[in-house]
C-alpha cells in the first residue's frame, strides 16, 4: 500500500451515457504498462448464474480442475498466478473498437463444502490496483474465508489491467496542470473510457462470468466512490456494502470540498483535548498553531530539512507548506502528534520540528513509488477519473481557455462570499497545495467533456441507492474523507449505518489501522447484516500528542518516581527525554521508506520488520541537543507490549542504562522505566512514547 491512502476525492458519478464513447476507438490506442502473467483466461461472454443461492453469492465451481494449473469457475477457466494468488484470469472488455484485458484474482474458500458467498474488495486512489493490496484485504477477510470466496479486480487502467502510462505526468517531480492536460490529450478518444462507471461494469461482468450471486463489497477511500457507483448501477449484485473512509457522490457546494477544513480543525483540537499534556495548555490546538501560521505568512523562508529517510528536502516554509502538513495528513499519526508542539516551538525560535514535518510531507503526499511504475500507481488513470468523474468549480464541457476564465470568475466570487472556506488558511494558501490535494486547478487543461455527458452525470447523481445493508466507517480524526462526508454517504442508502471510530484516521478496518475493533465490527456486519456490539470502540487509544519540543532535557517535566527510585530530578528529566526520543523514533516509521531513519537533532535509526514485531536500533539519537539515546526497541505496532533496552548519555556526563516497557493499544498508556545512572537506581513512570 502506498504511503498515503487514496486521497483523490471524487464526488460526481459518470453515467451510462459514457458507454456511447466506446464506439470508434482503435484497438491499438490502449496505453498500457506492466507485465501481464504468462497465463490468462480471456472471457468474451458472461455466463448466467445457474444454481448459485441468491442470498449467498456463491460462484459455481464445476468440478475438479481440468489440470493442476487450471480451474473452471462458472464459464471462466482460471490459471495459476505468478503473484502469490492461487488463481487469476482476464476478461476482455470493450475499449473503443477493440478491447481491454481486465485482470482479476480468485481465492476459493478454504473450508469444505460449498461457498457461502463472495467477498470483493476495491482499492483507493484512484490509480492503485486492488491486487497490490491483496495482503491487507486477505487479512481483513481471513476469519470469513473458510466459507467465502474472494475476488480482487484491478480497475481498468491500473495494475495488470492496462495501466495508463502518461509521461511526463507519471515521472516528473511535480504534478502540473499542463501535464494533466497533456495526458488527457494523449488519450484521444479513449479519454472517457477509464471512468468509474465502466470499471464498475467490468466487475459486474467478471461476477457474471464467475457465476457469483450477490456479493459483499468492501471499498476504502476512492473505493467507496467506486462502491457507490457499483451499488447504483448493479444493485442486484449486492448482498451488503461497507464503505471505509467514505464520501458521497455529491453534496451541497461539493466542488469546493467544504467539509475539509472543519474536519482538519476538529482533528487537531480533538487530539489535543484527549491528550494529557496538550489539554492542560490554555486555548485550543488551532489557536496554538495559528501563531506559527502568522509567522510563516509574515516571513516565508527558503528552508532545507531532512525527511524520515534522512534525505534533504528544499522548500519554502510558508503558509501553504503548513496547510499541506495539516490537510495532507501525511504522515497521518506524526502530523497530528507533533504539529501543535512543533508550531509552538517554531514561534519560540526552534524551527527544526516543524521544518522536519514539512520535509516529510513532501514525500508522503506522493502516491508514486520510487520507480514511478504506473503498474503500482497510475497517475494518468488518477487524472482521468478525477477529471471525468469529479465535481469541478467550472463546467468541464468548456474548452480549457474558456474554462480558465470561468475558474477565475468562480474563485473571485468565492473569495467574496466564503473567504473562510479553508480557514485558518486563505483560499489562495489552500490552492497553493499540490493539485491532487487542492483539486480546484487539477483539471483546468483536461480536454472538454461533451455537454450531454455532463448532463447525464447530474441525472445519475439523483438516482436512488439500493435497499441493501450498508455500513459506512468514518474516523473522527480523518479530514481526507471527513465524518460529515461519511454521514452524507450513509444517508443515501435506505438502511445505511455510520460507524464513527474515535481516534481513527483515514480507513479503519484494514490491518494498518490503529485498532482491530472496526475490522471485527465490519466482519460481523458481513456475517449477520447488522451492526452488533460496538463497545470495543471505547478502547481505541488517543493520539499521544507531544506536550512540547525541547532543546534541553532541563526544559522537560521529570518522570514520576516510583518506589525504590534513587535518581534526582535532573535524571528523571532524562527519563522523560528518553521516552520522547522513543516516541519520535516510532513516529518516523510512518513516512520512512528505506529502513534507515534519523533523529530530530542527530543520530540514526535502523528499522526492521519481523513476523510479530518491528525492531528499531538507535545510534546516538538526539531528540534534545544534550541527550543521546542508543539501544534497541521491540515495538508491537497497534497492540502488544513494547520493550526497549537503552544506553543514555546526558548533560554533565551523566550516563545510564534503562529498560522501558509499555503496552500499546490501551488508552492513557504509561511506560515503566527501570535501570541505573551509575550506581543510582531508577524506578519511574511516564507517559508512553
Instruction: Determine how many CB atoms are found less than 10 A away from the CB of residue 649.
Output: 16
Distance separating alpha carbons of residues 74 and 76, to the nearest angstrom: 6
Query: Are residues 533 and 624 located together in one domain of the fold?
Result: no
Q: How far apart are CA 498 and CA 70, in angstroms?
A: 42
Q: pLDDT-based confidence at 67, cuts 50/70/90?
A: low
Residue 153 sits in the same domain as residue 263: yes
- pLDDT greater than 90 at residue 558: yes
Helix (H) or strand (E) holding 659: strand 655-664
> Quick check: 672 pLDDT over 60?
yes
State yes or no: pLDDT of 2 exceeds 50: no
Same domain, yes or no, for 258 and 395? Answer: yes
Rounded Cα distance between 112 and 146, Å, is 8
Tell me: do 131 and 254 sit in the same domain.
yes
Asked if 618 and 532 sit in the same domain, the reply is no
Whether 278 and 194 share a structural domain:
yes
Residues 461/250, Cβ–Cβ less than 8 Å: yes
In a domain, 300, yes or no: no
Q: Which domain holds residue 611?
A: 553-687
Residue 386: C-alpha distances to residues 329, 426, 435 (Å)? 20, 24, 11
For residue 215, is it within any domain? Answer: yes
The per-residue pLDDT for range 395-426, each reduced to its tens digit, is 999 999 999 999 999 999 999 999 999 999 99
Say if residue 52's pLDDT is above 50: no
CB–CB of 559/687 below 8 Å?
A: no
- For the cut 60, the answer to whether the pLDDT of residue 8 exceeds it is no
Q: Are residues 457 and 605 in the same domain?
A: no
C-alpha cell at 85: 494468488
Classify residue 271: in a domain, yes or no: yes
- Position 13 scores a pLDDT of 28
DSSP bridge pairs for 474: 500
Burial of 635 (C-beta count, 10 Å sphere; 0-12/13-18/19+):
buried
| pLDDT tier at 591, thresholds 50, 70, 90 | confident
- Of 543, 574, 608, which one is at a domain's C-terminal end? 543
Q: Per the domain annotation, does 432 fall within a domain?
A: yes
How many distinct helices (H) and strands (E) make up the chain?
18, 22
Q: What percent of the chain has pLDDT over 70?
A: 90
Contact (CB, 8 A) for 165 and 33: yes
**Which of the residue ranges 428-432, 451-455, 674-678 would you say has the lowest mean pLDDT?**
451-455
Identify the CA nearest to 438 among candidates 480, 408, 396, 406: 480
Total domains in the fold of the chain: 2
Q: Is 535 helix (H, G, I), strand (E, B) or coil?
A: helix
The mean pLDDT of 612-629, rounded to a whole number, is: 97
C-alpha dist (Å) from residue 63 to 60, 70, 71, 208, 439:
9, 12, 9, 18, 51
CA distance 604 to 597: 6
Same domain, 521 and 565: no
For residues 381 and 497, state if they share a domain: yes
Q: Is the peptide bond before 126 cis (omega within 30 degrees of 0)?
A: yes
CATH number, position 447: 3.40.50.1820
Statement to judge: residues 107 and 200 lie in one domain = yes
Residues 518 and 561 in one domain: no
Sign of CA dihedral 341, 344, 345, 346: positive
292-331, pLDDT tens digit by residue? Answer: 999 999 999 999 999 999 999 999 999 999 999 999 987 8
Q: 516 with 610, same domain?
A: no
Q: Supply the pLDDT for residue 459.
A: 72
pLDDT at 36 over 70: no
Q: 46 in a domain, yes or no? A: yes
What tens digit of pLDDT does each residue of 444-456 get?
999 999 888 877 7
> Where a domain ends, among 501, 519, 543?
543
Asked which of 517, 543, 569 is the last residue of a domain, the reply is: 543
Kindly indicate the confidence band of residue 362, based on its pLDDT and cuts at 50, 70 and 90. confident
Handedness of CA 69, 71, 77, 83 (dihedral sign): negative
pLDDT value for 593? 86
Q: Classify residue 576: in a domain, yes or no.
A: yes
> What element of type H or E holds 534?
none
Task: Report if residue 332 sits inside a domain.
Answer: no
Rounded CA separation 380/387 (Å): 11
| pLDDT at residue number 44 | 31
The answer to whether position 641 is within a domain reads yes
Tell me the sheet residues that pair with 673.
660, 684
| pTM attached to this predicted model | 0.90
Residue 3: the pLDDT is: 33
Amino acid at each position: 500500500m502506498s504511503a498515503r491512502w487514496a486521497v483523490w476525492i471524487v464526488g460526481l458519478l459518470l453515467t451510462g451515457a459514457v458507454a456511447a464513447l466506446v464506439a470508434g476507438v482503435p484497438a491499438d490506442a490502449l496505453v498500457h504498462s506492466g507485465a501481464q502473467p504468462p497465463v490468462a483466461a480471456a472471457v468474451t461472454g458472461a455466463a448466467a448464474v445457474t444454481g448459485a443461492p441468491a442470498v449467498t453469492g456463491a460462484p459455481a465451481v464445476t468440478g475438479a480442475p481440468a489440470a493442476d494449473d487450471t480451474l473452471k469457475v462458472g464459464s471462466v477457466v482460471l490459471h495459476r498466478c505468478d503473484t502469490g494468488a492461487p488463481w487469476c484470469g482476464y476478461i476482455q472488455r470493450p475499449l473503443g473498437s477493440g478491447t481491454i484485458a481486465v485482470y482479476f484474482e480468485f481465492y476459493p474458500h478454504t473450508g469444505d463444502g460449498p461457498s457461502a458467498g463472495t467477498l470483493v474488495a476495491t482499492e483507493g486512489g484512484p490509480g492503485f490496483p486492488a491486487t497490490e493490496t491483496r495482503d491487507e484485504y486477505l487479512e481483513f477477510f481471513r476469519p470469513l474465508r473458510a466459507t467465502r470466496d474472494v475476488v480482487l479486480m484491478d480497475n481498468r487502467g491500473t495494475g495488470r489491467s492496462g495501466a495508463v502510462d502518461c509521461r511526463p505526468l507519471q515521472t516528473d517531480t511535480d504534478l502540473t496542470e499542463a501535464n494533466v492536460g497533456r495526458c488527457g490529450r494523449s488519450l484521444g478518444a479513449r479519454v472517457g473510457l477509464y471512468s468509474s462507471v465502466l470499471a464498475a461494469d467490468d466487475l459486474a461482468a467478471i461476477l457474471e462470468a464467475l457465476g457469483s450471486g450477490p456479493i459483499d463489497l468492501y471499498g476504502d477511500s476512492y473505493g467507496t466512490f467506486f462502491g457507490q457507483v457499483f451499488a447504483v448501477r448493479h444493485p442486484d449484485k449486492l448482498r451488503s456494502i461497507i464503505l471505509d473512509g467514505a464520501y458521497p457522490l455529491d453534496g451541497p457546494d461539493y466542488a469546493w470540498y467544504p467539509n475539509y477544513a472543519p474536519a482538519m480543525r476538529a482533528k487537531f483540537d480533538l487530539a489535543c483535548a484527549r491528550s494529557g499534556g496538550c489539554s492542560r495548555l490554555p486555548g485550543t490546538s488551532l489557536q496554538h498553531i495559528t501563531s506559527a501560521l502568522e509567522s510563516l505568512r509574515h516571513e516565508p523562508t527558503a528552508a532545507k530539512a531532512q525527511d524520515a529517510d534522512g534525505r534533504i528536502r528544499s522548500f519554502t516554509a510558508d503558509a501553504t507548506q503548513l496547510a499541506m502538513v495539516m490537510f495532507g495528513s501525511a504522515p497521518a499519526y506524526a502530523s497530528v502528534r507533533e504539529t501543535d508542539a512543533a508550531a509552538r516551538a517554531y514561534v519560540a525560535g526552534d524551527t527544526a520540528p516543524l521544518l522536519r514535518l514539512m520535509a516529510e510531507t513532501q514525500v508522503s503526499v506522493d502516491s508514486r513509488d520510487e520507480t514511478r511504475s504506473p503498474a503500482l500507481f497510475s497517475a494518468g488513470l488518477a487524472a482521468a477519473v478525477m477529471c471525468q468523474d469529479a465535481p469541478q468549480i467550472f463546467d468541464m464541457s468548456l474548452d480549457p481557455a474558456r474554462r480558465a476564465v470561468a475558474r477565475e470568475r468562480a474563485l473571485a466570487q468565492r473569495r467574496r462570499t466564503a473567504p473562510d472556506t479553508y480557514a485558518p488558511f486563505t483560499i489562495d494558501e489552500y490552492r497553493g497545495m499540490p493539485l491532487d490535494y487542492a483539486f480546484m486547478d487539477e483539471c483546468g487543461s483536461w480536454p472538454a467533456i461533451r455537454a450531454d455527458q455532463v448532463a447525464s452525470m447530474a441525472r445519475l447523481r439523483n438516482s436512488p441507492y439500493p435497499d441493501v445493508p450498508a455500513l459506512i466507517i468514518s474516523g473522527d480524526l480523518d479530514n481526507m474523507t471527513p465524518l460529515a462526508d461519511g454521514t452524507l454517504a450513509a444517508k443515501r442508502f435506505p438502511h445505511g449505518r455510520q460507524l464513527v471510530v474515535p481516534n481513527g484516521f483515514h480507513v479503519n478496518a484494514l490491518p494498518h489501522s490503529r485498532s482491530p475493533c472496526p475490522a471485527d465490527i465490519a466482519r460481523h456486519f458481513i456475517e449477520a447484516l447488522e451492526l452488533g456490539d460496538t463497545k470495543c470502540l471505547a478502547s481505541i487509544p488517543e493520539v499521544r500528542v507531544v506536550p512540547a519540543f525541547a532543546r534541553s532535557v532541563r526544559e522537560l517535566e521529570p518522570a514520576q518516581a516510583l518506589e525504590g527510585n534513587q535518581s534526582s530530578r535532573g535524571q528523571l528529566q532524562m527519563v522523560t527525554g528518553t521516552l520522547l526520543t522513543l516516541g519520535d523514533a516510532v513516529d518516523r516509521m510512518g513516512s520512512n521508506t528505506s529502513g534507515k531513519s534519523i533523529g530530530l537533532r542527530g543520530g540514526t535509526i535502523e528499522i526492521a520488520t519481523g513476523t510479530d514485531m518491528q525492531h528499531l536500533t538507535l545510534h546516538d539519537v538526539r531528540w534534545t541537543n544534550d541527550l543521546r539515546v542508543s539501544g534497541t526497541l521491540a515495538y508491537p505496532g497497534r497492540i502488544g507490549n513494547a520493550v526497549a533496552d537503552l544506553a543514555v548519555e546526558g548533560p554533565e556526563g551523566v550516563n545510564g542504562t534503562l529498560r522501558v516497557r509499555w503496552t500499546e493499544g490501551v488508552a492513557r498508556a504509561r511506560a515503566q522505566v527501570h535501570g541505573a545512572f551509575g550506581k543510582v537506581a531508577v524506578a519511574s513512570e511516564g507517559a508512553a512514547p
